[in-house]
Amino acid sequence: ERAAQAAAPLAPGALADGTPVPLLANLGSADGAAEALRLGAEGVGLFRTEFLFLDADTAPSVREQQAQYTRLLTAFAGKKVVVRVLDAGADKPLAFLNDAPEENPALGLRGIRALRHSEVILREQLTALAAAGAATDAELWVMAPMVATVEETRYFTALAKELGIAVAGVMVETPSAALIADRVLAETDFASIGTNDLTQYTMAADRLLGTIAMLQNPWHPAVLRLIAEVGAAGAELGKPVGICGEAAADPLLAVVLVGLGATSLSMSPSALADVRASLARYSLDDAKALARAALAAEGAAEARTAADAAAAVIS
């Protein structure tokens, strides 16, 4: 009987009042699928596809890509899988995409900008994804990284649909996209907030630079205000707003993010258990109270302290 209990599926992510908060996995290849499922992932919220392209002299063929995507989607049959199209920049130069050196790779030809510049790569990737999606039962969503404008949103969404992707969205990881989230979301099916880049760009602090790592803190109220903009736009338009940056893996910040309007959280699978347990301690009203406390703080450290204090009153 004990063995049967151990094998029972973990409860889906939810707040104390029953509000569902799907808990999804960030994956960098299909190899982690079984482990993510074992740890209770309800699907995949961010599948990074860079592994297929790095260390290659030529782009992988549609057939090769299709095989990898099919492997992933088969493992998550019946579940949601959000795949991100290639996010390469001058920090990860690819001979067939963006090999011109740049002084500021984070601000350069990366993400959707690079794909648009070499559209055949994007078309092939979307074609491979659509074929894998059609051949499996997972619920495939596809999103573009580094979107900064409404026009890029419209471009990507239209191209994805033209090539057979049923659900297309964008990552919100530039302050620009967050500030105009209402207009961005009006042009696409969903948003997923990449808090790693959103923090880097909001704080104007290179996320790879150890000397300024203290600024790379998603608790900063400037970052939280931008997330609140996106959450409000999603609620207004009835569109999903996921979080797929590291912030979602912090059990207390996860509650704040839901209070700001996030409708699902995606993280490395090892963080799922702690985040699930934390969410179960708060109602949606509690989460909103934690979010208000954090938003009203002066800086990142103060925001965490304020959320902690608000949480202590509740639980």
Catalytic site positions: 244
User: Which of these ranges, 40-48, 102-110, 156-164, 187-195, lies near Mg ion under the rule CB under 5 A?
Assistant: 187-195
Q: Is the dihedral of CA 236, 22, 245, 191 positive or negative?
A: negative
Nearest-angstrom CA–CA distance, 241 and 15: 17
Q: At how many degrees (to 10) do helices 284-295 and 251-259 cross?
A: 100
Q: Is 194 in the site for Mg ion (CB under 5 A)?
A: yes
259 burial (CB, 10 Å; 0-12 / 13-18 / 19+) is buried
Is 89 among the residues that bind ligand PEP (CB under 6 A)? no
Residue 245 binds which of Mg ion, ligand PEP, none (CB < 5-8 A, kind-dependent): ligand PEP
- For residue 152, the partner it binds in ligand PEP, Mg ion, none, with Cβ less than 5 to 8 A by kind, is none
Find where tokens 């934390």 sit: 278
DSSP state of 51: G
The answer to the question of residue 250 lying near ligand PEP (CB under 6 A) is: no
Residue 50 or 285: which CB sits closer to ligand PEP? 50
CB 218 → ligand PEP: shortest distance, Å?
Answer: 9
Q: Counting contacts by CB under 5 A, is residue 246 touching Mg ion?
A: no
Candidates 197, 229, 246, 250; binder of Mg ion (CB under 5 A) is 197
- Give me the least distance between CB of 198 and Mg ion, in Å please: 8
* Cβ-Cβ contacts under 8 Å for 60 (sequence gap 6 or more): 52, 53
- Any idea how long the chain is? 315
Kindly give the pairing relationship between strand 167-172 and strand 264-267. Answer: unpaired
Instruction: Confirm or reject binding of residue 29 to ligand PEP (CB under 6 A).
Output: no
Selected binder of ligand PEP within 19, 196, 268, 283 (CB under 6 A): 196
Minimum CB separation of residue 198 from ligand PEP in Å reads 7
99 assigned ligand-binding residue: no
Are 70 and 133 contacting, i.e. CB atoms less than 8 angstroms apart?
A: no
Strands of 156-293, DSSP E = 167-172, 191-193, 241-243, 264-267
Q: How many residues bind ligand PEP (CB under 6 A)?
A: 10
Where along the sequence are the contacts to ligand PEP (CB under 6 A)? Answer: 46, 48, 87, 173, 194-197, 244-245
Where along the sequence are the contacts to Mg ion (CB under 5 A)? Answer: 173, 194, 197
- Annotated binding-site residues read 48, 84, 173, 196-197, 207
